[in-house]
């Protein structure tokens, strides 16, 4: 079964060590401890297209990623000039990376972006500082504790008589279409968010929503949850978030996933869960 991108890091995150300053200091002092190399927050690859790692140094503030077969792995806490933006160049690098590396890097990227966007306490406005080995920030003024934000997003196919709904956002590369997606809001379930988003963006009413699989998405920190719902009608009413949308049959999806230049659309890349979703739909999910 195709595994979604950004999964399979295989690290023991060792949560119990994060609040244990003595054992954490011992990990940092270990001769075999490794520090992930980053180009700001982008991955740095070695000649085998594997993630580059170096030794720890005392000048770098670190995030504890976890233990790999007992060896402690850290990432630097970097200062980002900008955030909330993706450099498209990172997607070329990602296409070269093995899944385990993409997953480890993804966690480091999400954490870094969260720290950079959360330097101040949302409760009282005071500057905060990292704690829990980088898995939180604490306010020295009001003592509020803040934890990394993970935003749940539904990404879904509506299905109608053997065809599935694909759409394109204005910022997509030419020819690219994908599954529709949207943030889950307070006060709704995954299944309700799927139905709401398909209705808002495309005017499509679905029922029998089923969940397939999930992935973390590090731009900056979404949890993508892939679903399929059944539509009773193929009528479309697009909102402003979509440039275009159409119902695609199996042959079209097969051609796109195979990279056929005659395909009716250009498929999302393998590390995006939309690709996994389309693959599993073809497989009968």
Positions that interact with a second copy (CB under 8 A): 4, 6-7, 9, 13, 15-16, 103-104, 106-108, 110-111, 114, 117-127, 135, 144, 146-152, 183-192, 196, 200, 211, 213-216, 218, 221, 223, 225, 239
Helix axes 250-257, 273-282, angle to 10 degrees: 130
Nearer Cβ to a second copy (90/255)? 90
CB of 6 to a second copy, least distance (A): 7
Structure tokens at 37: 């190399």
Nearer Cβ to a second copy (214/266)? 214
CB of 60 to a second copy, least distance (A): 20
CB of 240 to a second copy, least distance (A): 8
| Strands 34-36 vs 71-76: parallel, antiparallel or unpaired | parallel
CB of 214 to a second copy, least distance (A): 4
CB of 31 to a second copy, least distance (A): 26
Distance CA 183, CA 194 (A): 9
Nearer Cβ to a second copy (165/273)? 273
Phi and psi for 91 in degrees, rounded to 5?
-70, -30
User: Per residue in 29-63, is it b (16+ CB within 10 Å) or e — as a string?
Assistant: eeeebbbbebeebebebeeeeebbbeebeeeeebb
Residue with tokens 């190399």: 37
Nearer Cβ to a second copy (159/201)? 201
Nearer Cβ to a second copy (221/252)? 221
**Strand order across the 136-138 sheet:** 129-131, 136-138, 145-146
Number of helices followed by number of strands (H, E) in the chain: 7, 15
Nearer Cβ to a second copy (224/248)? 224
CB of 10 to a second copy, least distance (A): 9
Nearer Cβ to a second copy (105/247)? 105
Closest-CA residue to 72 (of 37, 23, 135) = 23
Task: For residue 267, give the 3-state DSSP assignment.
Answer: coil
Distance CA 221, CA 106 (A): 9
CB of 110 to a second copy, least distance (A): 4
């Amino acid at each position: 079964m195709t595994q979604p991108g950004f999964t399979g890091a295989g690290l023991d995150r060792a949560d119990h060590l994060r609040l244990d300053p003595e054992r954490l200091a011992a990990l940092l002092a270990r001769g075999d401890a490794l520090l992930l190399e980053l180009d700001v927050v982008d991955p740095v690859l070695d000649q085998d297209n594997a993630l580059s790692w170096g030794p720890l140094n005392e000048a770098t503030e670190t995030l504890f990623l976890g233990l790999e077969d007992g060896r402690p792995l850290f990432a630097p806490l970097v200062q980002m000039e900008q955030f909330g933006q993706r450099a498209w160049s990172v997607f070329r690098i990602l296409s070269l990376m093995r899944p385990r590396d993409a997953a480890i890097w993804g966690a480091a990227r999400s954490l870094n972006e969260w720290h950079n966007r959360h330097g101040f306490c949302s409760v009282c406005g005071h500057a905060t500082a990292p704690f829990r080995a980088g898995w939180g920030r604490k306010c020295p003024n009001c003592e509020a504790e803040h934890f990394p934000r993970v935003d749940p997003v539904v990404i879904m196919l509506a299905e109608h008589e053997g065809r599935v709904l694909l759409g394109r956002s204005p910022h997509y590369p030419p020819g690219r279409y994908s599954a529709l997606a949207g943030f889950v809001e307070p006060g709704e379930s995954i299944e309700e968010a799927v139905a709401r988003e398909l209705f808002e963006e495309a005017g499509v009413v679905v029922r029998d929503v089923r969940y397939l699989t999930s992935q973390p998405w590090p731009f900056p920190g979404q949890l993508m949850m892939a679903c399929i719902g059944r539509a009773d009608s193929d009528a479309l009413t697009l909102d402003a978030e979509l440039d275009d949308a159409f119902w695609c049959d199996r042959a079209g999806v097969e051609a796109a996933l195979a990279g056929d230049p005659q395909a009716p659309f250009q498929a999302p890349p393998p590390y995006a869960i939309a690709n996994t979703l389309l693959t599993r739909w073809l497989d009968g999910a």
